Structures are given as structure tokens and as C-alpha cells.
Structure 1
């Protein structure tokens, strides 16, 4: 296959993946991701130009109230399915390349008592493709463990997700532990999740809040840059 034809094929596949995410079509997203892996297209490019670009469109549609929470969650499932396939097919060299381009280190976790992790997973993926080293602790993580891991990895950012109102206090608990240990200033703490708000973030003393993952990535970059400027 000629170079020009190959590039056109790659572009078409990436565009199909992007459109499948915008259309919150998980089945199509899986299918296209598998075709992309088979075609040996650079996964970092695919995540950035396909998944991340699709996520930004979904974000805009959510903000303009063209999409609501159900569409947002379905799009998230499509993103998660595609990224799992792409990451699974990624070579060791590409994974090492991602780790080298570090903007900062972020700990991500769904807080204790909460089993919902789609939003957190998408955030972890988008942070990674945007140059962050990400340590994804998973879901239902104890507050003290989050703090211990943040110290262990010398994290710049602790990003806490809570979908349920009953688990929101665990976000505050992490901040309370940091303050009690007199290490609060060592970390940027971001909160998010369907049950949270900017008012809640301000109330518990978080450094930032974002309603959806693409906005959280932009905020993370801003907060890192602000801290490094002093």
C-alpha cells in the first residue's frame, strides 16, 4: 500500500473512532479500535486524535445541554472500551515513551465506598495521553491508602472521584488527613464525579473541580503550571 493511501486509511479509522464516541456507540468503538490495532497505527496518536478529540466534542455537547448525563455515561463506556483495546495492543516501547513525557505525576482514585469508575478511568487515560504519569489506584480506595500512595509516588496531583452523595465525605476525609499530617501543601487535590460541584470543592478545601474528564485535564495542566510558577 502506498504511503498516501496508508495515511488516508489511518485518518479514516481515527475519524470513525472519534465519531463512534460522539455517537456513544460502544460496539462500533470496539470494532474500530480492533481494526486500528490490526493496522498497527500509533496508539498515542489514536488516543489523542480519536478518543480525546471525541471526548472534547462530547464535553461541548454536555455543556450546551445537547447531551445529558445518560449520553455522557454511554460515551464514557465507548471511550473506555476503545482505550482498553488500544492500551492492550500497545508495545512496551510505546508505554515507556508515555512515561518519559511527564508533565507531572497524578494519583487517581474512586473514593472509599464508591464502585463507579468510568469517569475516573477516562480521566486517567486522558491525563496519560496529555503527558502525565498516572497511578490509577482503582475504585473504593481507603482514604489513608490514597494519601500513602501519593507520598510514595511523590505525586503532584491527587484526583478523587465520587459519583454517589454518600461517598462524597471520603473526598473531604483525604484532605483532612493531609492537613492532620501537615502535608496538605505538598499536593494539588482535585475532586469530581456526578455528585460533586464547585461549591462542594470550595467547602472542603480542594484546589479544583471539574464536571467532566476533559475539563479536569485542562484544569490539571493549569494548576501544575500555576504551582511551578510559584
Structure 2
């Protein structure tokens, strides 16, 4: 099976919430010595994005979304488990730190952030995942309590992106902006959005999130 065909089938497996097929594709990729992280991000991750888009458009019910999301979670754990057991890491960086992640208030999308969290942990970061629908006040409170280096927020709906802006405003108003680096992500987010609201970084996917996080940690330690 060619790599692109495998990626296409992986996407389809998530859309169809077919866990048995998904695990078969992981085994197939291992046998062919294909990059499992590519399979996770470009294959299964694409399927995860598709179910999120369908839900936003009203083409998928909440139970269907939850079921597909559970399959995605199990697939992610299986792949990252293989990478860790083989002594491999998704990425390797000398700069490590503590990152707090949360999906903002009003947004139930949690799986994409879960992939980012798992990949960051594999790369050696300590990750505190607050889950979904987290108010900005709670995000800041936990960040201060845990003394994290980076706050990363996810917004998968255009209607909830404003929460990321609210967090940046809260950080400035409370004088806490200097103590944390911030990252934003999610389907509607862009580098332009990050710059507009005052966030320090933006990542499109889990691998880029690790690179951005490492850069932000390095910048923080230099000051």
C-alpha cells in the first residue's frame, strides 16, 4: 500500500469511527517502516479535523462526534505508545519546560489538543491538560498555581476564538503577561490572529507545536 493511500484510509477510518481498521493501518504502517507520526498527523489527524468540520456544519451529531473522538484518542495512545516503547521520540529538543493546555470556554473540541499534549510529552515537556470548556480566569489561576512556562489555548470554532483574545487581555490587565509565553491553535486560528491578539506563538499541528514551544522556552530563559 502506497503512503498516500495509507493516509487516505487512516482519515477514512476516523471519519467512520472504525477502530479495528485504524489499528490494522497502524500495523500496516509499521510493517512498511512508514513514519507513524506522519500517519497520526496527516492521516488520522486529517480525519479528526474532518469530523470536527462536519460537526460544526451540523452534519454530525454530538454522540457521533464523541464516538469518533474516542477512536482518535485510542489511535493516538497506540501510536505514541509504540514510539515510546521503541525508544523513539516524536521530536527531540534541548529546551524543555512546563506547558498548560486548555480548550477555551464554549468549545467542546478536545481531541486535537489531546494529540498536541501527547506529542509535547513525547518530546519531553511536562504538560498540564485542563480539558475543554475552560474559562480564561481558570486558565490563568492554574497557570499561576502550577508555575508553568507556556499557556496554550485551543479554539476550534470561530465563535470561541474571542476567548483567546480575552486571555491575552486578562494577562495584561493582571500584570501576568511577563510571566508566561502564550500559544494559540485550532482550525480557525492563523499566525495573523495570534499576532493580532498578542499571543507569542501559533501552531498548525502537533509537530509544529513542539517546535514553537521549544523556541518560546528558549526565549523565556534568555530573559
Q: Same fold (TM over 0.5)?
A: yes
Once superposed, what is the RMSD of the aligned Cα atoms? 3.6
**How far apart, in 2, do the equivalents of 1:68 and 1:119 lie?**
7
1:159 aligns with 2:152: yes
> Which residue of 2 is the match for residue 124 of structure 1?
117
**How far apart, in 2, do the equivalents of 1:201 and 1:177 lie?**
15
1:54 aligns with 2:39: yes
User: Which blocks of at least 5 consecutive residues in structure 1 are unaligned?
Assistant: 1-15, 36-48, 90-100
Of residues 142, 151, 160, the one that matches 1:149 is: 142
1:180 aligns with 2:173: yes
The 3 A distance-change label for structure 1 pair 131 and 178 is: same
* Contact in 2 for aligned 1:124/1:134 (Cα 8 Å): yes
| Superimposed CA distance per residue, residues 74-130 of structure 1 (whole angstroms, 9 cap, x where no aligned partner) | 9x95652223457899xxxxxxxxxxx991111010000011112111111111101
User: Which blocks of at least 5 consecutive residues in structure 2 are unaligned?
Assistant: 28-34, 55-67, 83-93
The 3 A distance-change label for structure 1 pair 119 and 69 is: closer
> Which residue of 2 is the match for residue 197 of structure 1?
190
| Superimposed CA distance per residue, residues 43-78 of structure 1 (whole angstroms, 9 cap, x where no aligned partner) | xxxxxx63x34345559x98xxxx99539989x956
1:190 deviation in Å? 0.2
User: Displaced runs of 4+ in structure 1, greater than 6 A?
Assistant: 71-74, 86-89
**How far apart, in 2, do the equivalents of 1:154 and 1:116 lie?**
26
The 3 A distance-change label for structure 1 pair 88 and 161 is: same
The 3 A distance-change label for structure 1 pair 68 and 220 is: same
**How far apart, in 1, do the equivalents of 2:182 and 2:120 lie?**
15
The 3 A distance-change label for structure 1 pair 58 and 161 is: same
**How far apart, in 1, do the equivalents of 2:38 and 2:122 lie?**
11
> Which residue of 1 is the match for residue 218 of structure 2?
225
The 3 A distance-change label for structure 1 pair 164 and 209 is: same
| Superimposed CA distance per residue, residues 188-227 of structure 1 (whole angstroms, 9 cap, x where no aligned partner) | 1000111111111111000011122221111111111222
**How far apart, in 2, do the equivalents of 1:58 and 1:86 lie?**
12
TM (norm. structure 2) is: 0.68
The 3 A distance-change label for structure 1 pair 197 and 54 is: same
